Structure 1
Amino acid sequence: MRTVDEHLAEILGSVAVLPPLDLALLEAQGTVLAEPVSAPVPLPPFDNSAMDGYAVVAADVAAATEADPAVLPVVGDIVAGDTGVSALRPGLTARIMTGAPLPAGADAVIPVEWTDGGNATVRISRSAPSGHYIRRAGEDVPAGQVVVDAGTRLGAPQLGMIAAVGRSRVTVRPRPRVVVVSTGDELREPGEPLAPGQIWESNSYMLTAAVVEAGGVGYRQATVEDESAKVLEMFHDQLVRADAIVTTGGVSMGTRDVVKEVLAGTGTVGFHKVRMRPGKPQGFGLLEGVPVFTLPGNPVSAYVSFQVFVRPALRAMQGLAPDPLPTVSAVLTDAVKSPPGLRHYLRGLLSFSRGSYTVTAAHTQGSHQLGSLASANALIELGEDVESLPAGSHVEVMRLP
C-alpha cells in the first residue's frame, strides 16, 4: 500500500495548469486571474465632492455660525459627469452633487444640511476646513498600483475593481470542466421507483457540487451500468469536453469492478490501495492527457477522497497552491480510536467558544453512512501512528465547505 502523501504527490506531479483564456469580465467570474491588473490612472481620477452641497473657498465661510451665517451668491450647478467645470472665485459658491468634479479654486464642500438650500444665494450656518468632504484624486488607488494580483480568484469585488480601472477583459485560468459519473447496476436516479436490491444514486450529485465548491465547473453524467463496453464508451465520449473526469464505484476487488477492468493499463491509469480510512481503493492517471480520478463507491469514501486528492488537483490546474481544506487545531470532547497504520478521517462537529475550537466525532463512522457526513462540518485527521486519543487531546481538523 502507498501513503496518502505518496498518492497525492503522484497526482500533483501529473496534472498541468490549464492554459490561460482572454475573457470578458462577467464571463471571468470564479476564474483565477493569470496576470496582475494595474490602474492606468489614479482613482478617483479627479478631485470630487463626497456630498450633495456647495463648493466653496473655505476662507469665505470660516466665521459662519447659525446666528451669523455666511451668505454667498450661487453661480451654477455642477453635476456628476459634468465636463465643463471651470474655476470658482473667492466670494462665490456653486451647488455640487456627490461625485461631481470640484471646480478649481474651491477647497471645501458644505453639505446641503448646513445651509438653507438656496438657489440664487445660499446661507451657510457652519464653517468647514480646507479639504472638507472632498475625495482627492488618487486617494483610493494611485496610478500604476496593482489592484488585483495574479492568482486571485475573481469574485464580485475583484470584478468591480477591474472594471473601475477601465478593463473590459482579463486573462485568466479557466475553471476546470469536471465530468462526474457513478457506475453500478444497483443505482437508480432519484425519483425513480426502486426494485429490491436497488438504491438511489447520490454520489454524482454530491461530487458535482463539490467540484463547484472547489472552483470547477461540474457536469453530472448519467449513471452507467456495470458493462465494460458502456463504461469505455462513456470515457471516450466525455474526454471531448472534460478537463478532468471523476468516477465513483468499480475500483475495488469485486468481480464486477468494471472501471478498474476497463482502465487498468490504459493511458497512465493505475490502481492502488492507499493507507487511509475511508477511501482505501484509489485509481488515478491520464487518459489521452485528461486526469481521471477513480474513487470508491461508498459515499463517505468518495467524498473524503475528493477532498483529499481531487480538490488539491483542481486548485493546481487553476494555478493555485494545491492546499488542503482549511485546517484548525481543536480539542477532542470524547476519546477516539483509529486503526493502526492508516490515516483516519473521522466525521465531526466543530465548535468555537471562548477563543478555542472543540470537536466531537460522529457516533457513526461507516463509509456507507451518509447521514453522519451530512450533519458534520469537519473531518478529524488522525495520523497513521495514532491508535487512540483521550478526550482533551489536540487534533488537526479539516473544515468542510
Structure 2
Amino acid sequence: MSCCDAGAMSVQDALTTMLAQITPVSAHITVPLTTAQGHILAENVLSPLNMPPFDNSAMDGYAFRFADWRDGIVMPVAGTALAGQPFSGEIPVGACLRIMTGAQVPAGLDTVIMQEHTAQTSEGVLFTQQPKAKANIRYLGEEIRIGDVVLTAGTRLHARALPLLATLGLPEVKVHRRLKVAIFSTGDELKLPGTPLHEGEIYDSNRYGIEAMLNRMGIECLNFGIIPDDPAQLRDTFIQAAQTADAIITSGGVSVGEADYTKDLLLELGEVGFWSVAMKPGKPFAFGKIRDKHFFGLPGNPVSAFVTFYQLVQPALRKLAGEISVAPLRIPAIAEHNFRSAKNRVDFQRGYMSVNTEGQITVRSTGAQGSGMFTSLCAANCFVIVENDVPVGTSVTVELFNEIVN
C-alpha cells in the first residue's frame, strides 16, 4: 500500500510511524479470574500443573492391561473407578476395571475400551471389538507440562483463555491496567440526538461509534461531548483530556480549511506528527501529541471517522494497551462487479462477502460509498481494499470486520 497523494503519507507508513512512537502502558494490576475478561496479560502465564494432572480415562468403559487380553476371553471386573473417586484396590492379572470418563487410571493399566465395544456375561466382560493398545487414555502432562508457557504477555483474555487459566487452578492474573481514552467532537454545526435541528445543523454521530468500539476493546472512554469551534474552549478541553487520559481522539477540525485551531493547539501544547494519509475515505487524519499524550484527529465525515479509527487508531491503541500485534485477516475474494479505485489512494470500500453455490468466496459492494453514507457501512461485513480498478470476476482483497464492530 505505497500509493499516495502528493504530501499524504501512505497507510503503511502512517501505521509504522505511529507504532514506532507508542510504548505500552507500564502500570500493572492483579485481577481475579472472574473479572479478567477483556484484560491484556502483563506477563507470561506459566503452568503450575501438568495437564492432565494424572492418567485418566477419555471414555466410559473398562481399563485393563493390554498384555492380559486375548481374543474371546472374558475379563472379570475387579471394581469401579469414578471421576473424583479413584480405585485403590488390587486388580488381579487378567482382570479389568469399570471406569468412567475422567476417572484416574490405576498404575499398571494401560488401555481403556469403550463400553459400547463390550458385552456383559455372568463371568465378566467380553470385548466385542479388538482393542487398540493404549487407547482412550489421556496421559499425565500430554497437553501441558509444569513450567510451560500457556499464554504469552500481550494476550487479550477472552472466553477461550479464561477456562484454560481456571483449569490450571489460577485464581488471578497480572494484567495491564485498562487504557483511558478521551474523545470529543468539534464543530458549531453539531447537535446532540434528541434536540431540534436548525438550519445548517446536523446530529453528532461519530462519538457513538468511537465509544462503542473503545468499549469493545476494553478501554475506558472519557466522553467530553461536543466542543464548539472556539480556540479557548478547545485549548481547555485538550489540556483537561491530556491530564486525565492516555490518549485523545477527536472527530472534525482536521480537514483543509478547518485545521487552524487544532493544528495551532498541537504546535502550542505538543507536536504534530502528520496530517494527511493517502486513503479513502479518511485522507484528513492527524497524529501528534498533546503534552505527553498521543493525539488522533479523525475526519468529521461519519464513514471517514469510522474507517480511520478502525484502520489506524485501533492498532495504535492495541499497542498502547500492551496487546500483541495481530495482522488483520485479509483474504482474496471474487468481485461480483467492477470496483473502481481512488487514484493514488488506498480505497477501503464497504462490501458484503459471501460464499456462492460453487463454494467460492465472493464480494459485492453494499451501495453508495460516499464518506457521509453510513447505510452502506451498516450493511457491510468487510472492507474491500481497492488499490487499482478491479474488473468483475477477478480477485480483490477483503478484510473481515473483527470483534470490535461485529
TM-score between the two structures when normalised by the length of structure 1: 0.80
Aligned partner of 1:333: which letter?
E
Q: What CA distance in whole angstroms lies between the structure 2 residues aligned with 1:228 and 1:146?
A: 52
Q: What CA distance in whole angstroms lies between the structure 2 residues aligned with 1:72 and 1:358?
A: 59
- 1:280-299 equivalences under 5 Å are 280-299=283-302
Q: Which residue of 2 aligns with 1:225?
A: 227
Cα distance, 1:315 vs. partner? 2.9
Asked if 1:3 is matched to 2:4, the reply is: no
- Seen in structure 2, the aligned counterparts of structure 1 residues 238 and 122 have a Cα distance that, compared at 3 Å, is farther
Q: Which residue of 1 aligns with 2:392?
A: 391
- 1:42-191 equivalences under 5 Å are 42-53=50-61, 55-57=63-65, 62=70, 70-72=75-77, 74=79, 77-82=80-85, 85-90=88-93, 95-109=98-112, 114=118, 123-126=124-127, 131-191=134-194
Cα distance, 1:297 vs. partner? 0.7
Cα distance, 1:91 vs. partner? 6.0
Larger mean CA deviation between 171-180 and 10-19 belongs to 171-180
- Seen in structure 2, the aligned counterparts of structure 1 residues 194 and 53 have a Cα distance that, compared at 3 Å, is same
Q: What CA distance in whole angstroms lies between the structure 2 residues aligned with 1:96 and 1:323?
A: 44
Q: What CA distance in whole angstroms lies between the structure 1 residues aligned with 2:320 and 2:42?
A: 12
Instruction: Tell me the C-alpha RMSD between the 2 structures.
Output: 3.5
Q: Which residue of 1 aligns with 2:25?
A: 18
Percent identity between the two aligned chains: 36
Q: What CA distance in whole angstroms lies between the structure 1 residues aligned with 2:377 and 2:241?
A: 29
User: Is contact 1:72–1:123 with CA below 8 Å preserved after alignment?
Assistant: yes
Cα distance, 1:290 vs. partner? 1.6
- Seen in structure 2, the aligned counterparts of structure 1 residues 235 and 96 have a Cα distance that, compared at 3 Å, is same
Cα distance, 1:364 vs. partner? 1.6
- Seen in structure 2, the aligned counterparts of structure 1 residues 228 and 96 have a Cα distance that, compared at 3 Å, is same
| Secondary structure in structure 2 of the residue aligned to 1:230 | helix
Specify which of 191, 195, 211 is matched with residue 214 of structure 2: 211
Cα distance, 1:291 vs. partner? 1.0
Specify which of 348, 368, 371 is matched with residue 367 of structure 1: 371
Q: Which residue of 1 aligns with 2:380?
A: 376
Asked if 1:201 is matched to 2:207, the reply is: no
Q: Deviations over 1:365-394 (max 9, x none)?
A: 2211111222223333344xx5x5543454
Q: What CA distance in whole angstroms lies between the structure 2 residues aligned with 1:171 and 1:298?
A: 40
- Seen in structure 2, the aligned counterparts of structure 1 residues 398 and 257 have a Cα distance that, compared at 3 Å, is farther
Q: Which runs of 5+ in 2 are unaligned?
A: 1-6
| Secondary structure in structure 2 of the residue aligned to 1:291 | strand
Asked if 1:333 is matched to 2:336, the reply is: yes
Specify which of 273, 278, 281 is matched with residue 275 of structure 1: 278
Cα distance, 1:132 vs. partner? 4.8
User: Is contact 1:107–1:131 with CA below 8 Å preserved after alignment?
Assistant: yes
User: Is contact 1:88–1:105 with CA below 8 Å preserved after alignment?
Assistant: no
Cα distance, 1:363 vs. partner? 4.1
User: Is contact 1:79–1:97 with CA below 8 Å preserved after alignment?
Assistant: yes
TM-score between the two structures when normalised by the length of structure 2: 0.79
Q: Deviations over 1:182-228 (max 9, x none)?
A: 22333333344444443332211112223345x34151615223133
User: Is contact 1:178–1:242 with CA below 8 Å preserved after alignment?
Assistant: yes
Aligned partner of 1:252: which letter?
S
Aligned partner of 1:3: which letter?
M
| Secondary structure in structure 2 of the residue aligned to 1:379 | strand
- Seen in structure 2, the aligned counterparts of structure 1 residues 95 and 341 have a Cα distance that, compared at 3 Å, is closer
| Secondary structure in structure 2 of the residue aligned to 1:223 | strand
Aligned partner of 1:33: which letter?
L
Specify which of 301, 306, 310 is matched with residue 309 of structure 2: 306
Q: Which runs of 5+ in 1 are unaligned?
A: none
Q: Which residue of 1 aligns with 2:3?
A: none
Cα distance, 1:299 vs. partner? 0.4
- Seen in structure 2, the aligned counterparts of structure 1 residues 196 and 122 have a Cα distance that, compared at 3 Å, is farther
